[in-house]
Structure 1
């Protein structure tokens, strides 16, 4: 199971995908939407987990569970 974070790299003006606890960046994309999609693919390939999306201020603004991870809530995600 692997969690990933999506955040803006202001020096590169790109969206960064990084595995939680990892030192290396897993990839960069031009848009947040592309980065979120790629992070979900990476998490799914690692057995599921959480993808945390950071806003431009660096704070987590959303989090999505990727199967086969366990969603702590029984509600459906209607945003993505």
Structure 2
């Protein structure tokens, strides 16, 4: 089963990198930037979506590293 997305989420004053559907975070780091870089590499390797959440839990950034069903025209 392939993973569908990678998330950067706040976790007790730190930041976690978590795959959708996973019970545990794959990595917990001190800064959101560090977590974003780790998650970006995972998303690129797997060809999936990356979601970066803010401290309030809401999605603040989204990037697709898979096949885009609506690619830009031009």
User: Could you state the TM-score of these two structures normalised by the residue count of structure 1?
Assistant: 0.76
- 2:56 is matched with 57
- Paired residue total: 70
Q: Which 5+ residue runs of structure 2 have no aligned equivalent?
A: none
Q: Distance in 1 between matches of 2:63 and 2:40?
A: 9
Cα offset for 1:73?
4.7
Q: CA deviation digits over 1:42-75, x for unaligned, max 9?
A: 12222x1111010111011110112xx0234528
- 2:6 is matched with 4
3-state DSSP class of the match of 1:62?
Answer: strand
Q: Which 5+ residue runs of structure 1 have no aligned equivalent?
A: 76-80
Q: Distance in 2 between matches of 1:73 and 1:55?
A: 27
3-state DSSP class of the match of 2:61?
Answer: strand
